[in-house]
Structure 1
C-alpha cells in the first residue's frame, strides 16, 4: 500500500492566511505551516473548531523567536505602509503599537530620525533578511518607488499621506509608489497618516504620480460644468472669477481646483453657454434669458 506524503501548506510570515488545524494540545492548537507547525494559543481558537478546519490567522514571531499564529488583525502586514504610534524605546530600537499581542520592532538603523514614545510615524513593514523576523522601517525611500508604475490616468488608488509640503501633500500609493496631491487638488487640509482614495492625474518623468481627490477626466468635468452653471444662476448670471484669477479665489468661490475650473470653463465656452473675461465669467445672453437652461446637464461636444 502506497503511503501518500504529507501535503505541505506553505505559511506566509506577516500575512493574513488560512491554515488547517493539525491537532489540539493543552496550550492551544497546532496549525499546518508546512515544514514547521505553528501554535495558535487557546484564546484564539474559534469556538467549535476541529481538526482539519481552516482558520484565518496572522503569523509572526513571539518575544522568544517562536512562530505564533493569532486571529487578531494587525494594523499592517508585511509589504504595507502604516501610521503607527511608538509605544516604547529601548537600547535596541523603538517598538510600535501593532494591534496584536506583540509590538512591531523598528531598529535604530531604520529610523529616519530618533523615534520618541507617544509619537506616531509612517513605517513600512518587511522581513529582515538577517533575523528572518518582521520589522518596520521609517526610511521609506528604501522600500517605496522601486517597481514600475502600473496605474493609468483617471484610475482610482488608495494612498496614505506621509507629509505636507509647501505645494501640497506627499503620499504613498498602494504601499508601493510615491504620489503627490497639490493643494488646489485637495478641498481641505489633509493629515499625516490619513488614508484616502485618490485619482491618477499623470505619471511624471521622475517616476512619481500626481493625484487628485476628485475623479479626473470627462466624468469629472461634466459634473463640474453643471455645478458651475448652477453657481452662475445663483449669483445672477455672473461670477467675479476667470482664467486669470488665483487658485485661492477659485477654490473659495467654487470649491474647485483651478485646473478643474478651467477645464469646466473650456467645455462650457465651447458649448456657447458662457462668455469669458480674464477675471469674470457670465452666462451667455441666450442662457441668461432662459431660467430653465441651467436645470439640465450641459452637452459636451
Structure 2
C-alpha cells in the first residue's frame, strides 16, 4: 500500500514525454492509481517494469506526485526547518522539495518569521494534505518509554530549560540533558546521537551525550593520545585543570577525563606531571 509523505518502492508502468507513471495501486481499493514521476527525477536508463524508491506528496494542484529526491523530513517526523516565506495563509518551510511545507498560523508556536529556523512535526491535516506544526506536544508519545539504560538513541535539540536542554528522543518522547551532562556545544535544531542515562517512574528521560562505561573511556583515551601526538607529546592539562577547559578540548566532563588519563597512566602510555601530561 502506498504511503503519502513517505518513501515507497513502486513499479514503472508507463513512459510519456514528460516522465513516468508509477503503479500506485487500485483507486477502488485504497490505492492512488497512476502516480507521475516528472522527467527531471527519472534515473538514467530506467525501463518499464523497474522498481524505483520514491517519495510521494501532493503538488500545488493536490495531485499525487513522486520524486526520487529525499526530503529533509517525512510524515511523522520532527525536524528543524527554515521559513522560506510567510503570507496570509501561514509560513512555508523549505523541506527540500519544489512545493514548500505549510505551517498554518494556528499551528505556529511561536509566530514564525521568514529566514528563521523552527522545530516542527509533519502530519496530515483534516483535508489529507501534508502540513507541519510547531504545536507538537500532542504528537509526542505520552506513555512510559521502553528504552534501556545506556541505549544509543537519536535526539533533536528542541529548546532549553533552567536545568539544561530539552531534546526529542527517536521522534517519539521528550528527554532532557542536564547542564552537568552537556559536554559539547548544542544548537537548537541539532540532530545527534546520545545515550539513555535514566528513565524515571513518571516516564521522564534523562539523556547523556557521552558513551557510557569502558567504551566511552576507550574513545576518550584515543582522543587524548591523538592530541598528544599532534602536540609533540605534551599537553598542559591534568587532573587539576579547570573543567571548562577540559570540556572545550576533549568534549567530556572532568570526571571522564580523569578516568581516561588514569587508565593511560596505568598502561604506561603517559606520565602525569605537575604542568600537564606527557606521552611515553
- Whether TM-score is above 0.5 comes out as yes
**TM-score normalised over the length of structure 1:** 0.73
User: Which residue matches 1:184?
Assistant: 180
The aligned counterpart of 2:98 is: 101
Could you tell me how far 1:186 is from its partner in structure 2? Answer: 2.1
Distance 1:261 1:54, change over 3 A: same
Choose 1 or 2 for highest CA Rg.
Answer: 1
1:41, 1:223 → 2: CA distance? 47
Give TM-score scaled by structure 2 length: 0.79
Match runs of 1:1-301 below 5 Å: 10-34=1-25, 35=27, 36-128=33-125, 130-220=126-216, 239-240=239-240, 256-257=252-253, 260=256, 264=259, 294-295=268-269
After TM superposition, give the deviation of residue 150 of structure 1 in Å: 2.7
- Whether the 8 Å contact between 1:21 and 1:54 is mirrored in structure 2 is yes
State the shift of 1:58 in Å.
Answer: 0.5
Shift of 1:293: 6.1
Q: Is the 8 A contact 1:156 1:197 kept in 2?
A: yes
- What SS does structure 2 have at the residue aligned with 1:101? coil
3-state SS of paired residue (1:23): strand
For residue 205 of structure 1, report the CA deviation from its aligned partner. 3.0
Q: How many residues align?
A: 257
CA RMSD in angstroms, aligned pairs only: 3.3
CA contact under 8 A between 1:28 and 1:39: conserved in structure 2? yes
Contact residue 226 and residue 294 of structure 1 kept, 8 A? no
Deviation at 1:259, TM superposition (A): 6.4
Once residues 171 and 178 of structure 2 are traced to their aligned partners in structure 1, the CA distance between those partners, rounded to angstroms, is: 20
Q: Deviations over 1:31-55 (max 9, x none)?
A: 1111221111111112211211111
Moved >2 Å (runs of 4+): 145-148, 164-167, 217-228, 238-241, 246-262, 292-296
Deviation at 1:147, TM superposition (A): 4.6
Shift of 1:144: 1.5
Provide the C-alpha distance between the structure 2 equivalents of 1:116 and 1:40, rounded to a whole number of angstroms: 33
The alignment partner of 1:126 has SS state of: strand
Aligned partner of residue 199 in structure 1, secondary structure: strand
